[in-house]
Each structure stands twice: as C-alpha cells, then as structure tokens.
Amino acid sequence: MESGIGEAQHHARLSDLRWAGQRIDAIAPGALPGLTRLGNLIRSVRTPEFEGITLHEVLTKSALNHVPATSAMLPGEWTINPYRGCTHACAYCFARPTHEHLGLDMGADFDNQLIVKVNLPDVLRRELATKRTLPERVAFGTNTDPYQRAEGRYQLMPPVIDALTGARVSFSILTKGSMIRRDLDRLAAAAARVNVELGMSIAFLDEELRRTLEPGAPSTAARLTTLRAMRDAGFAPTVFVAPILPHLTDSTDQIDTLIGTLASAGAGAILPTPLYLMRGVKELFFTWLRHTHQDLIPVYADLYASSSRTPRPYQDLIRARVNRALRNHGLPLPDFTASDRFALLGKRSIPAP
C-alpha cells in the first residue's frame, strides 16, 4: 500500500465507521472537555471495579451501522459496536483514532474514557422490526471489543444476540474477551437458527510481552480456555494471530509453537497478520518500544518507514512460516473464505477459491 494513498483511505474508513447520532452541538453540564459534543450523554460513572476508567453512558439513535461501499474495510457490510473505546488498552490498536472524532485523544482517553450505548438492544429491536430489508449478516468486533470488561456490567450482548437470532440475521463476533463464555449456550442456540462465526484474537504465548502490550485484556491462558469452550460448544473458531511482531514473535519456532498450541486448544482456522501501524498509532507503539525494546527501534523504523504495513518480502516470509506451521498441525491454509466469515472482504466481488 502506498503510504499517502493508504493512510488517506484508512482515515476515510475510520470516518465511515463513526457512530451515528453522537455529534451534536449541545454541551452537557460538567462533561469532560472531549465529551461536550455528546448531547445524548446520560451520566458518567466511576466505580471501584473500574479503577481509573470512566464509563460514559449514552443513548444512541442507531444500532446497525451500514459501512459505505467505498470504505476500504468491510465495504457494504453491517456492523454493531456496543462500546466506543476499549479497556483492553492494546498499544497497537488500529481503532484508536476513532476517539478523536469526539475530541478525545487516541492514547489514554481511548483506554480510560469508554462510551457505552446503554439503549442499544432496544434500538436494535426497533430497527429490525421496521427495516424493509434486513442485513444478510452483522459483524461485531470490527472497531472495539464487544466482550471487553464493561460487558460484565452492562450485559448488552445477550439481548442483542437474541434480537438478531429472532430476526434470522447471521452474525460474526471477533473478541479477545473471555467473557464470551457467559454467552456460549445462547450462541450455540442461535447457531441452530442462523450462521454464527466466532473468532478469538491470540497472538502471544509470552505472558510478560502480552501484558505490556495488552494490559487490560485477558491473559493468553484465559483466552485458550475460552477457545476450548468455544470448541466444546460446537464451534470451529477462527483465531486471529494478530499482530505478529517483527523480531519479537515472528521466528519459525515461535510461530510453529503458537499455532500448535492453538490447534490443540480447538482452533478451526488461523488468520495471521503482521503488525499494522497507521499514523498516530505508530507513534504510540514506538513509545512502547522505547520502554521495552529500545534496540529494535532502528529495525522498526526501517520496516515502517514508508507504509503502515511491513514490506512485501517480509509479508511473504511470514506467510511461508505460517503456512508451514499450519501444515505441521493439520490446519487449513488461510484463504478468502476465512476472511469472508468475518465480513473482512465486504461486499466486493470475491473470486472463486
């Protein structure tokens, strides 16, 4: 991807995915400076169980988000995002710049100022009942995680799952959250009526590395347990091995060990992705490098000098290592069907396998 064009397209996509109905001119008394545009703010909540985090409860005007056909990601698809911002606090998260649409920053605010669409189930039921044409499918986890910690407090997903199932709308869920185990019986029942695809993001076996990069996310052990639970519930979950970190998690042995572990835990397919660093997020990630792996800064500066993606030769090298490991452990090689299960290809014309 050319740097200038790619970055412009990516920022356009982020704008496309902006939640409707959350930018009006009214100023809520006492609101944080970045939230003065939220005229639908009910209250801001701080509780001991979410130390250092503020939960901003809002009333949304829409639940279903239709991604424009011109978007670079998920063109023409439908998504649902119960939350905005994410307490997983992943240093590499591509969704961070979406917080800037609220006047908040993509760093600490994205991690600690969480927007919660508390009326989302009711709005979704109304939309499903009144739309002339329902979506063929809906994707969760395309922006922020629907099973982050706040879901334990607000429990938005169970009624949302029920509403989609009742309307016979298929859906996919991508998460790092072990809390999805709470809903596996409900999801299995839904899968008897509609197509349900489950995905888990697991990229690190080194727990210390994971903790510094994803400080608010469940441990790898908890996610592996969740993966087994998905398998036991009758699913063949796809594991997103993302990000693969150059010179940190990308050796032949590291990739083979990770994929072998995932295969044993019940992965049905693997989707690998080398680290992607868009503008803004790149600077945050390099701050992490300076604190943890300062010796790698020149290497990363070279790899990401002209693009948010690694150079094609590096991508080809990683693809070869991943494919070798997949063959070793009896898993299918990634193809367009794996991406399409999570609407990643959108409504584009998809070539036959």
The domain segmentation of the chain, as residue ranges, is 35-329
Which pLDDT score, from 0 to 100, does residue 38 have? 55
Q: Cα(114)–Cα(106) distance, rounded to whole angstroms? A: 12
Helix axes 252-265, 220-232, angle to 10 degrees: 40
How do the pLDDT tens digits run along the chain, 353 residues long?
344 444 444 444 433 333 333 333 333 444 454 555 556 888 999 999 999 999 999 999 999 999 998 888 899 999 999 999 999 999 999 999 989 888 899 999 999 999 999 999 999 999 999 999 999 999 999 989 999 999 999 999 999 999 999 999 999 999 999 999 999 999 999 999 999 999 999 999 999 999 999 999 999 999 999 999 999 999 999 999 999 999 999 999 999 999 999 999 999 999 999 999 998 999 999 999 999 999 999 999 999 999 999 999 999 999 999 999 999 999 999 998 989 999 998 876 544 34
One-character DSSP codes across 258-322: HHHHHHHHT-SEEEEEE----TTHHHHHHHHHHHH-GGGHHHHHHHTSS-SS--HHHHHHHHHHH
Q: By C-alpha distance, which of 139, 10, 123 is closest to 76?
A: 139
Which pLDDT score, from 0 to 100, does residue 187 have? 98
In the chain the first and final C-alpha atoms are separated, in Å, by 24
Which pLDDT score, from 0 to 100, does residue 345 have? 87
Q: Cα(9)–Cα(13) distance, rounded to whole angstroms? A: 6
Q: What is the CATH number of domain 35-329?
A: 3.80.30.30
Strand, helix or coil at 167?
Answer: coil
Tokens of 136: 């063929």
Q: Cα(300)–Cα(293) distance, rounded to whole angstroms? A: 11
Q: Cα(2)–Cα(23) distance, rounded to whole angstroms? A: 32
Which pLDDT score, from 0 to 100, does residue 40 have? 85
Tokens of 17: 């995915």
Q: Cα(335)–Cα(351) distance, rounded to whole angstroms? A: 11
Amino acid at 182: R
Tokens of 348: 């584009």
Burial string for 51-85 (b: 16+ CB within 10 Å, else e) reads: eebbbbbbbbebbbbebeeebbbbbebbbbbbbbb
Torsion of CA 139, 215, 91, 119, to 10 degrees: 40
The residue written with tokens 């044409």 in the block is 133
Asked if the peptide bond before residue 243 counts as cis, ω within 30 degrees of 0, the response is yes
Which pLDDT score, from 0 to 100, does residue 20 have? 34
Which pLDDT score, from 0 to 100, does residue 72 have? 80
Q: Cα(280)–Cα(185) distance, rounded to whole angstroms? A: 40
Which pLDDT score, from 0 to 100, does residue 39 have? 62
